[in-house]
Structure 1
Amino acid sequence: MVGGANVDVSRPEFSRQFQKDFETLLKWRRDVRRFKSDPLPEGALEHLLHLADLAPSVGNSQPWRIVVVEAPENRAEVIASFEAENEEAAKHYDDDKAQLYRQLKLAGLKEAPVHLAIFSDDDPEQGYGLGRLTMHETLAYSTVSMVHTFWLAARAEGIGVGWVSILDPEVVAKVLQVDASWRLVAYLCVGFPEEEHIDPELERARWQSRSPLETRLFRR
């Protein structure tokens, strides 16, 4: 009942073709790291963000906080953080693996026309704490759900997304001057892909192949 009136909402019927297309979308969701510099069409980003905002969240708290990073000086500092952390990460590998690591393209920060910093509010008033008293991390999980929703919506429209995790969260938060209760969950590069692949880039680079589901499936 909405506003005192009965509302009859029929369950949508998804065609077999839609189901096949959805499976294809999941397979083509690849993490994009090579972007064209072309801007997104007017209104495209706002449309995708509104779709992402439909994602589920613990207690209906919607803890995600989205910062569109536009200022060149802010982007430059984020890129500097990535380069510093990327070099530090390379030192954790030995010999051939370190050499291969340095050959990997792990971000499209310089090319992507859109940068999104996605934070999760650690103590949102919305939701009144429902569902997160014993598992507070569900706030961050909810934000990740929003990110994945955004990702699928973008790929459905031919727009690529790359998740950059090789960053210092404290540096990014300081650069963007966000609230102290916000925690960085994802930094996304968004734009049209320079090339399309159905297989993960790390497989093509011979870093790591995907393993069968059976290796991660347990029954008790």
Structure 2
Amino acid sequence: MRPDHSGSLLGASAFSIEERDAVYRAISTRRDVRSEFLPDAIPDDVVERLLTAAHHAPSVGFMQPWNFILVRDDKVKEAAWQAFDRANREAGEMFNGERRQLYRSLKLEGIRAAPLSICVTCDPDRCGDIVLGRTHNRRMDSYSTVCAVQNLWLAARAEGVGVGWVSIFHEADIKEILGVPERVEIVAWLCVGYVDKLYDQPELAVKGWRQRLPLKQLVFSDRWENSRD
């Protein structure tokens, strides 16, 4: 059977002002949540909407390389927390002086507190070795999976659901805990749960780790370091 190529086209007009503002509000108020999770379970229909949003992310060659492992079992979450804790203690030793003390004071995960964790993975073999758009950059499948994470994160903000991205662990530890095949990359461990408040600025900015850079310092014109002015 020949594939059907007769897809319909959608209108490309701008959103209404209210719709546009809602999108930008989700972007500007999204936060990495670590310690504000409520214990309330997330209803299945909400989880399904978040996963659907993630699954509608763009992907190189339309390969859709992602998988989502939903983790609710406290024993599994505890094992993941132990893996984080070991790596976090290692990370603390990489900083010096006041920076080390500040690092150790930060809460950098919510694995135990969040009612749901989602491990997002990338399967580099989903479409074989030669993938449209990945021929000259083998990391494009990973970048695509990060787009899925961002979609989920913004959808969660619209739903009043907090998300925290945990990245401090040895990948092999999490693969062993979850039974992830060696060839599959772990892109993100997301802590997911309802919150009743969010920082008005990114938490690391509030706590003095680093401030947002001015946009004008990051935008060039035509060539590297050519100012737009």
Paired position in structure 1 for 2:226? none
Quick one: which of 128, 133, 138 aligns to 2:140? 138
Q: CA deviation at 1:71?
A: 2.8
- Counterparts of residues 121-132 of structure 1 (less than 5 Å): 121-125=123-127, 129-132=131-134
Q: Deviations over 1:74-122 (max 9, x none)?
A: 2111100111111111111112111111110111111000101111112
Structure-1 separation of matches of 2:17 and 2:59 = 28
The TM-score with structure 2 as length reference comes to 0.89
Paired position in structure 1 for 2:52? 50
In the alignment, structure 1 residue 210 sits paired with structure 2 residue 212: yes
Check whether the contact 1:60–1:127 (CA below 8 A) recurs between aligned residues.
Answer: no
Which residue type is aligned with residue 58 of structure 2?
P
Structure-1 separation of matches of 2:171 and 2:74 = 19
Q: State how many pairs are aligned.
A: 219
- 2:122 is paired with a residue of what secondary structure? strand
- Counterparts of residues 1-220 of structure 1 (less than 5 Å): 3=4, 7=8, 9-34=10-35, 35-125=37-127, 129-219=131-221, 220=223
Q: CA deviation at 1:72?
A: 2.5
Q: CA deviation at 1:206?
A: 0.7
Check whether the contact 2:72–2:115 (CA below 8 A) recurs between aligned residues.
Answer: no
C-alpha distance 113-126 of structure 1, shift in aligned 2 (>3 A): farther
Structure-2 separation of matches of 1:41 and 1:177 = 26
The more displaced of 119-128 and 164-173 is 119-128
- 1:43 is paired with a residue of what secondary structure? helix
Structure-2 separation of matches of 1:20 and 1:119 = 31
Q: Which runs of 4+ in 1 moved over 6 A?
A: none
Q: CA deviation at 1:186?
A: 0.6
The TM-score with structure 1 as length reference comes to 0.93
The more displaced of 184-193 and 14-23 is 14-23
Q: Deviations over 1:35-64 (max 9, x none)?
A: 111111232111210121011100000001
C-alpha distance 141-206 of structure 1, shift in aligned 2 (>3 A): same
Identity over aligned pairs, percent: 36
Check whether the contact 1:59–1:128 (CA below 8 A) recurs between aligned residues.
Answer: no
C-alpha distance 175-15 of structure 1, shift in aligned 2 (>3 A): same
Which runs of 5 or more structure 2 residues have no equivalent in the other structure?
A: 224-229
